[in-house]
Amino acid sequence: MTWLLRLLSPLDRKLARDLWAMKGQALAIACVIAGGVSVFLISAGMLDSLTETRRAYYERYRFADIWAPVVRAPDALAADIRRIEGVQAAETRIRAPLLFDIPGMSEPASGEAISLPDGREPLVNQLYLMEGRLPRPGQRGEAVVIDSFAAAHGLEIGDTLSATIRGGRSELTVVGRALSPEHVYTIAPGQIVPDPRLYGVIWMSRDALGEAVDQDGAFNEAIVRLMPGQDAAPVIDRLDRLLDPYGAPGAYGRDDQISDAFVSSEIEQLSTMGRILPPIFLAVAAFLVNVVLSRLVATERAEIGLMKAFGYRDRDVMAHYLKFAGLIGVLGLAIGGGAGVWLGRLMAGLYTDYYHFPFLVFTANPRVYLLALAITVAAVGGGAILAARRAAALHPAVAMQPPPPPDYSRTAGMGLTRLTLLDQPSRMILRRLVQWPGRAGFTLAGVAMSGALLVGTLYFTDAMEAMVSSYFDQSNRQDVTVSFVEPRQRSAFHEVARLPGVLAAEPFRSVAVRLYHGPAEERAAMMGVTRGAALSRMIGADGRGVETPPGGLVLSGDLAATLGVEAGDRIRVEITEGRRPVLELPVAAVVTTLIGSGVQMELGDLNALLGEGEVVSGAHLVADGDAVDRLYTALKSAPGVAGVSLQSVAERNFRALMDESMGVAIWLYTGFAGLIAIGVIYNSVRISLSESAHEFATLRVLGFTRAEVSYILLGEIGILTLIALPAGGLLGTGLAWYFAEAMSSDLFRLPFIIHPATYGFAAAVILVTTALSGLIVRARLDHLDLVAVLKARE
Amino acid sequence: MTPAERQTSTAPCFRTRGLTKVYGSGENAVHALRGVDLDLPEGELVVLLGPSGSGKSTLLNILGGLDAASDGEVWFRDHELSAANPAALTLYRRRHVGFVFQFYNLMPSLTARENVQLVTEIADNPMKAEEALGMVGLENRLDHFPAQLSGGEQQRVAIARAIAKRPSVLLCDEPTGALDSATGIRVLQALKQVNETLGATTLVITHNAGVAAMAHRVITFSDGRIGEVRTNEHRVDPSELSW
């Protein structure tokens, strides 16, 4: 170490030793910088990685821009679709729901089968084949299985798989394992969390699937890729007109494609986090650098005077202190860079559990690293420049004189601190606060900000918990939802209700609709529910199911907002299936739904409007826990059942998702908030000690005990912390409100709910941090050199 | 009661035997005290003289409970300071010792009165802060902050702070070191007055041999040992001193 020092110039050696002497404080500041840098790297890098991976994947595997489902349209239309202006490529295909029968698994797994063109790669939505091959034309029993489902069931090439498609049972041989750009987030319709065990996708040859679903020479979905730069809306219009005679509910773009909507929502959230958090960290770091450096300059007055007396120029002195800050910045960058990349990789790993890309490597592009460097330099430099300039501006003759004692007579003599019932140590604490209001204010702001960050990030757990409880405990209390292949007579519902193990059942009718109000237009799913539905229903603000008045609609809040309607307005409803009636209906109520959106109507009213008789699309069931296996078995072989979803499993999955990925992210951010608290509090206490070491030692000489002196040292930060707690709670409430607004999407809305326990936990973290910082610094108090005080002049 | 009478009626205020203090170890060891035997009677004003590094400050620190001896015994009345733990030494300083430093060491955030109250609040039988400040002639400067007081005034506040607890001993390390001669004399007068009215055993370290003339007893240090101890038959009033 010493030989290394000898290589340095004397000034740099001084720098190295100063830095070593202040290593605790330097490290605390570096950690705050590191917090900002790593949050920035994680969010910006993850944002980059996800965006770039998605772009490359979509581009390379020709992800569709538009999906246009129909009931049944002749293959010949494909040529017309390809001729639409702006269409680069189009493919027609068959898509059908199915039920799997997995040996040894009692729950019914559902999924969908998608056709592949015979004998060639599709032009749109190509598969990323991980293993095996595509089905051979003419080979009816072959299927490619989506990787997640294959992995969940240990399916390998050559294994057989039983699937019921449209009531017909197929024995399929697995010939390949693949990913698809359409199924990055592989999720069952109506679900919120993927379950690779219970939901799978298979691809079959067009012939084979066409035969299974009776669509020979026909297709039920067209997918379209647009020319670069082409707007989707006019093409969607043309498609709708072209396909209207074939029972088209309406084409939709990537916005409404469920997998991409989830990926986009994730990207949006990352970008929000990346916008908010790093600036907070770096502002705190800049403040800390300024405070610590100012303190250093104050203690080194004499040295600065000497340096200048010896002929060092102003800029040498300034450079010296800027270097000091620069080294701390470099340390922070190094820690933050390393931690950011490491955590980013960890996070990328978590993402790949839920988002299935062929590859997802955490790679921030050089711009991100440069930006991290630039904002660190700006923060540290901004913090250091004032102190460094102050050092450079000192006149040598003045600098070598000891500084005059701080004059408390003007500021601290007033008001509160004059109260006679105060003891002197308390008076000292108060006067120090009043004497340096700027410093006290900054400390207060720093602690409050870390408290706010804690509340803001912990809020997510509260919001998620509220979402889960609202969605599963109130809105969707069924255990099982059965959906039929097509609407069936009410008697089909009674058959399901009579299945073994069913304790209660409720029918529903679901139709695709388009809602219009003025110029606004939205696609939505309309649910017909029975009066007094107790299982699956919309929940009002009072937590009770909303009764749908006869003939009226209940709209989810987000839909109402996009359409610009309130309760009492009338909207135009175009039902995009069956006879396709267009209706003017009154909005009876608008309710806030946390997950998903939609519109609800009374089942009888809906059926009356549709004119298809007493039909239902499926049923919600409450199952007897002891007989659930028998129910599952019965459902697997029930005719006309297209899909079965299990709410209890979904809830478990949702909680697992919260614990795993969101849990990690939330605790990570909580840790970072704690880091800020440590940085601010430790530095404040440490600086108080070094500024007043002389006074504290004098007090010890005068016979004050360690506890009494600690009271003065820690009382100041204690008071500031106590004031900062409510301020931080208030700021955190604001931050949580902003997160709730900024992070809500079409997929879900974060409720603005903060539990008292969240405030309590945040306060506890701050108090423990304060106590720990206090203890660490107090240990130094115990080793004050009392003898030196008698001789030293400050 | 004269010091001589006290000496005969009671045990000495301080007694040391073989007092040794070594800083550092091995080649770097510095022997600050090399076996000091000393008896200081109650109530005397003692001046310690000697060049820098002769051991007088080390002795003062050990007597004041700020530093521990490497070897030997130190007794304050019937308490063995050399056997006391840090908490006991804190209590000893709190109850019995008043310190006056070369650089005053006042709390800049407290007024003159409050600086004195700082000590009276934790003392067992203190005088009023105003009374202590009156004894050093500062009754008109009670509510001034240190930054508003001259060096001599600050030192007198420090003396008032030291005496307000009615200490048994008053330890002063270069109390006039930072002051001009006229101001220094005022401070010495204050010390003399306190010694006489409170009867506190007073030790004053100084570089200034002239100050020795006001003492009951003068101890000269050199190289960690006591070179000479003499008692003044005729004490000179501080007002007659000059340097």
R_g of chain B, CA atoms, integer Å: 17
pLDDT score of A334:
93
| Residue A19 maps to a domain | yes
Q: B102 vs A790: CB contact, 8 Å cut-off? A: yes
Highest mean pLDDT among A20-29, A239-248, A775-784: A239-248
Q: Among A447, A335, A344, which residue's Cα sits nearest to residue A37?
A: A335
ipTM score of complex: 0.87
| CA distance to partner chain A, nearest, from residue B162 (Å) | 8
A302 touches chain B (CB under 8 A): no
Do the Cβ atoms of B107 and A410 come closer than 8 Å?
Answer: no
| CA distance to partner chain B, nearest, from residue A792 (Å) | 8
Number of other residues whose CB lies within 10 A of the CB of residue A600: 27
Residues of B in contact with A704 (CB under 8 A): 90, 94, 122
**Domains of chain A: total:** 3
- Tell me: do A104 and A247 sit in the same domain: yes
Instruction: Name residues of chain B where pLDDT drops below 50.
Output: 1-9
Dihedral sign (CA A16, A20, A21, A22): positive
E strand intervals along A455-613: 480-489, 502-517, 520-529, 553-556, 570-575, 582-591, 599-602
- Least confident range of A229-238, A262-271, B64-73: A262-271
Q: Among A764, A740, A755, which residue's Cα sits nearest to residue A451?
A: A764
B182 touches chain A (CB under 8 A): no
Q: Among A781, A772, A712, which residue's Cα sits nearest to residue A433?
A: A712
Nearest chain B residue to A790, by CA: B101
Q: Which of B107, B166, B206 is the best substitution to test chain A (most A C-beta atoms within 10 A)?
A: B107
Q: Among A386, A489, A454, which residue's Cα sits nearest to residue A676?
A: A454
Average model confidence (pLDDT) across chain A: 87
Q: Enumerate residues 6+ apart whose C-beta is below 8 A from A203.
A: A113, A114, A115, A116, A127, A134, A135, A143, A144, A178, A180
d(CA A735, CA A181): 35
d(CA A618, CA A627): 21
Per cent of chain A over pLDDT 70 is: 97
- Tell me: do A635 and A584 sit in the same domain: yes
| Residue A396 maps to a domain | yes
d(CA B106, CA A695): 8
| Residue A90 maps to a domain | yes
* DSSP string of A620-671, one letter each residue: EEEE-GGGHHHHHHHHHH-TTEEEEEEHHHHHHHHHHHIIIIIHHHHHHHHH
Is A363 strand, coil or helix? coil
- Tell me: do A98 and A246 sit in the same domain: yes
Choose one of A229, A261, A293: the last residue of a domain.
A261
Choose one of A375, A403, A431: the last residue of a domain.
A403
R_g of chain A, CA atoms, integer Å: 34
Per cent of chain A over pLDDT 90 is: 33
Do the Cβ atoms of B124 and B95 come closer than 8 Å?
Answer: yes
Number of other residues whose CB lies within 10 A of the CB of residue A265: 17
Q: B147 vs A407: CB contact, 8 Å cut-off? A: yes
Residues of B in contact with A701 (CB under 8 A): 64, 66, 93, 99, 105
- Least confident range of A436-440, A615-619, B41-45, B106-110: A436-440
Do the Cβ atoms of A679 and A31 come closer than 8 Å?
Answer: yes
- Tell me: do A43 and A100 sit in the same domain: no
pLDDT score of A596:
73
Is A543 strand, coil or helix? coil
| Residue A588 maps to a domain | yes
- Asked whether the predicted pLDDT for residue A791 surpasses 70, the reply is no
CA angle A534, A538, A542 (to 5 degrees): 90
Q: Enumerate residues 6+ apart whose C-beta is below 8 A from A380.
A: A33, A285, A286, A289, A325, A326, A328, A329, A332
pLDDT score of A354:
84
Q: A596-608, pLDDT tens digit by residue?
A: 778 999 999 888 8
Assigned token pair, A56: 């490359």
Residues of B in contact with A405 (CB under 8 A): 108, 146-147
Domain span including residue A42: 1-63+265-403
A435 touches chain B (CB under 8 A): yes
* DSSP string of A211-270, one letter each residue: HHTT-TTEEEEEEEEEPTT--HHHHHHHHHHHHGGGT----EEGGG-HHHHHHHHHHHHH
- Tell me: do A96 and A139 sit in the same domain: yes
Q: Among A644, A611, A232, A276, which residue's Cα sits nearest to residue A478?
A: A644
Do the Cβ atoms of A143 and A206 come closer than 8 Å?
Answer: no
Give residue A273's Cα distance to chain centre.
8
Q: Among A190, A183, A106, A192, which residue's Cα sits nearest to residue A149?
A: A183
If you count them, how many residues does chain B have?
243
pLDDT score of A414:
60
- Tell me: do A256 and A278 sit in the same domain: no
- Least confident range of A103-107, A453-457, A523-527, A638-642: A638-642
B110 touches chain A (CB under 8 A): yes
| Residue A577 maps to a domain | yes
- Tell me: do A515 and A394 sit in the same domain: no
Q: A152-162, pLDDT tens digit by residue?
A: 999 999 999 99
Residues of B in contact with A787 (CB under 8 A): 61, 66-67
| Residue A56 maps to a domain | yes
| Residue A440 maps to a domain | no
Do the Cβ atoms of A95 and A114 come closer than 8 Å?
Answer: yes
- Tell me: do A331 and A288 sit in the same domain: yes
Q: Enumerate residues 6+ apart whose C-beta is below 8 A from B212.
A: B47, B49, B206, B218, B232
Q: A168 pLDDT band (50/70/90 cuts)?
A: confident
B147 touches chain A (CB under 8 A): yes
- Tell me: do A629 and A550 sit in the same domain: yes
Do the Cβ atoms of B170 and B201 come closer than 8 Å?
Answer: yes
pLDDT score of A216:
85
Q: Are strands B169-173 and B97-100 parallel, antiparallel or unpaired?
A: parallel
- Least confident range of A90-99, A190-199, A407-416, A642-651: A407-416
Q: A531-540, pLDDT tens digit by residue?
A: 888 888 888 7
Assigned token pair, A163: 């699937």
d(CA A327, CA A20): 11
Is A760 strand, coil or helix? helix
Q: Enumerate residues 6+ apart whose C-beta is below 8 A from A728.
A: A447, A448, A449, A450, A451, A452, A454, A455, A762, A766
Domains of chain B: 42-65+95-240 (3.40.50.300)
Is A514 strand, coil or helix? strand
A406 touches chain B (CB under 8 A): yes
User: Residue A165: enclosing H or E segment and its boundaries?
Assistant: strand A160-165
Phi, psi of A225 (to 5 degrees): -110, 135
Residues of B in contact with A425 (CB under 8 A): 118
- Least confident range of A82-96, A231-245, A388-402: A388-402
Residues of A in contact with B30 (CB under 8 A): none
Q: A428 vs B109: CB contact, 8 Å cut-off? A: yes
- Asked whether the predicted pLDDT for residue A4 surpasses 80, the reply is no
Residue keyed to tokens 């001034």: B144
- Asked whether the predicted pLDDT for residue A111 surpasses 60, the reply is yes
A792 touches chain B (CB under 8 A): yes
Nearest chain B residue to A784, by CA: B66
Residues of A in contact with B66 (CB under 8 A): 701, 786-787, 790
Number of other residues whose CB lies within 10 A of the CB of residue B111: 27
Q: B90 vs A794: CB contact, 8 Å cut-off? A: no
Q: A424 vs B102: CB contact, 8 Å cut-off? A: no
Residue A235: Cβ-neighbour burial (10 angstroms; 0-12, 13-18, 19+): buried
Q: A794 pLDDT band (50/70/90 cuts)?
A: very low
- Tell me: do A521 and A585 sit in the same domain: yes
* Average pLDDT of the segment spanning A139-150: 93
pLDDT score of A620:
94
| Residue A740 maps to a domain | no
* Average pLDDT of the segment spanning A628-639: 85
B118 touches chain A (CB under 8 A): yes
Residues of A in contact with B121 (CB under 8 A): 423-424
| CA distance to partner chain B, nearest, from residue A26 (Å) | 29
Q: Enumerate residues 6+ apart whose C-beta is below 8 A from A285.
A: A29, A32, A33, A36, A332, A379, A380, A383, A679
pLDDT score of B8:
46
pLDDT score of B218:
95
Give residue A130's Cα distance to chain centre.
29
Choose one of A347, A370, A403: the last residue of a domain.
A403
Residues of B in contact with A706 (CB under 8 A): 90
Q: What does each C-alpha distance from A399 to A255, A393, A403, A406 come to in angstroms?
A: 66, 10, 8, 16
More confident residue, A407 or A121: A121
| CA distance to partner chain A, nearest, from residue B242 (Å) | 24
Q: Which of A702, A713, A781 is the best substitution to test chain B (most B C-beta atoms within 10 A)?
A: A702
Assigned token pair, A502: 């069913």
Nearest chain A residue to B162, by CA: A702
- Asked whether the predicted pLDDT for residue A304 surpasses 70, the reply is yes
Residue keyed to tokens 């990690």: A664
A436 touches chain B (CB under 8 A): no
Nearest chain B residue to A412, by CA: B109
- Tell me: do A129 and A80 sit in the same domain: yes
- Tell me: do A27 and A113 sit in the same domain: no
Q: A790 vs B57: CB contact, 8 Å cut-off? A: yes
| CA distance to partner chain A, nearest, from residue B56 (Å) | 13
Q: What does each C-alpha distance from A535 to A531, A532, A622, A623 come to in angstroms?
A: 11, 9, 8, 12
Q: Enumerate residues 6+ apart whose C-beta is below 8 A from A773.
A: A678, A681, A682, A685, A717
Do the Cβ atoms of A532 and A593 come closer than 8 Å?
Answer: no
Nearest chain B residue to A425, by CA: B118
Strand order of the β-sheet with A66-74 is A87-93, A218-226, A66-74, A252-253
A794 touches chain B (CB under 8 A): yes
More confident residue, A361 or B121: B121
Produce one character per residue of A625-651: b if its CB has 16 or more CB atoms within 10 Å, e if not: eeebebbbbbbbebebbbbbbbbebbb
B61 touches chain A (CB under 8 A): yes
3-state helix/strand/coil string of chain B: CCHHHHHHHCCCCEEEEEEEEEECCHHHCEEEEEEEEEEECCCCEEEEECCCCCCHHHHHHHHCCCCCCCEEEEEECCEEHHHCCHHHHHHHHHHHEEEECCCCCCCCCCCHHHHHHHHHCCCCCCCCHHHHHHHCCCCCCCCCCHHHCCHHHHHHHHHHHHHCCCCCEEEEECCCCCCCHHHHHHHHHHHHHHHHHHCCEEEEECCCHHHHHHCCEEEEEECCEEEEEEECCCCCCHHHCCC
